[in-house]
Structure 1
Amino acid sequence: MFLLNRINIQTPESVNLEFTLAGIGNRVYALMFDYLVLGLIQLSLVVVWALGSLFLADILNNALGTSVRLQQWLFAILGLLLFAIYVGYFVWFEVFWQGQTPGKRRVQIRVIRDDGRPCGLQQSTLRALLRPVDDVLFIGAFLITLTSREKRLGDWVAGTLVIQEDRAIAEANFTISESGKLLKNQVVERANLSALLPDDFAIIREYLQRRNQLTIEARSKISRQLASQVKGAIIQEPLNKKVSAEEFLEAVYLAYQEQRSRP
């Protein structure tokens, strides 16, 4: 297996994207960091729960004499809460941090769907529920190491991949129109570019690179579809004038690249 395993994915917009898979080393490092954070959260809960349980048990024991049964119920509830936090930690971060947990963000890797789209609630939940099987029995490590797409059991069931983040920005080898360059400043002022995922940027870049190879009909259809999706995701205030789909995509490309290149 190559040190950097790369794959190609065709998006629903019929655009080919190339990704570098995260690899077993990055994934283990990210998981260890996540377990450290998760352990601190769970330990805090255990301490608070233990103090509260002792106080409650003492009161009820004096009143009702039911300390043993109460302790059993409290331990059972605590176990459920710890498991809920375990699952919820990964689900919450992967859904609201665009496929990343604190550990994944630290090593710059991210979860996506098999078609290149962002990881959703369903996919993240399936991955989290199967994580104990992958981790405790070491099934995940074996599957990541031995399979071409480096998927653990949770990835196979959820239909996800874990990729590196460093493949989205690339130098343009296409011409940007003057109107697209002029529109860039408006996009910077009126758009929330942080809502644009690296995958979205890669799709825009791929389209701009390949547009001259498309038929007029396909070029018009794809540019309008992409522009509509991007506008819905990032535009907070209407632009001053009506622009074509390609001008808008060019301006977004320039604005996003400029933002990512800032120190």
Structure 2
Amino acid sequence: MDLALGLPAFSQRSLASWMLELFRTQVHVTYQQPLPAHEGCLLVVSGHRSFLDAPVLLWGMGRPIRLVCHHYLGQVPLVNELVRQLGGFHMGPQGQGWSQLFARAAGFLQAGTHVAIFPEGAQLITTASRPAQVARFRRGFAHLALRSGIVGLPVVPVAIVSRREASGPLVPLRLLSLFDQSEPMFQRSGWHPYVVYEQVELRVGSPRRLVADEFERYRSGEAAAVTAALASEMEQAARQLTASGATHPW
């Protein structure tokens, strides 16, 4: 136990399991098809409405995953250690350090380590949202994928579908500027909500492999078009997974 940091030391999956037990969150996992096994890495792209998304994803996928996180999570005492033990790594403030982030993520992927990212960013987690809501997918994950250089990299869309939850206001958004003054959303009025899943389904979509032509187009001046297309495709996959989860019982 590492008391100097204020948190006991856990394995990644043990910590995820402990958090889910702490909040009495029941998780059901559904796969559209079996994920590729014994062939290297996955890039997982997931919806994001709750602080419990990370433990749900880690526990449900059942494999070690490194998580791309928002910068301010690394600035909050105790939370930063929690994020570290969950496998999180992050860029610099206000989006600085994308190149370093891409390089680090590529290193994990090339070494066979799975990486997960929340392409919605903070759009839903910082505002009141509906259980079946999906926000626009930003293109950062697509740049990350295409800068990895891994032809055939499986990109896996994931939806986290809440069946029953508790929610409400947590802290004023402006209070969070104490931890990251460069973040524009922390200058807004209003409250950062909490969403605690009571019953939630992790719906894992079919892997979509990157092909050589996409890497070639990305390098030859069509980066904006290629990343926009991939982001749109994964967003649509997440919407379909979410909609089917919302209408079908476990």
Structure number with greater CO (CA < 8 Å, separation at least 6) is 2
The TM-score normalised by the length of structure 1 is 0.21
- Greater strand share, 1 or 2? 2
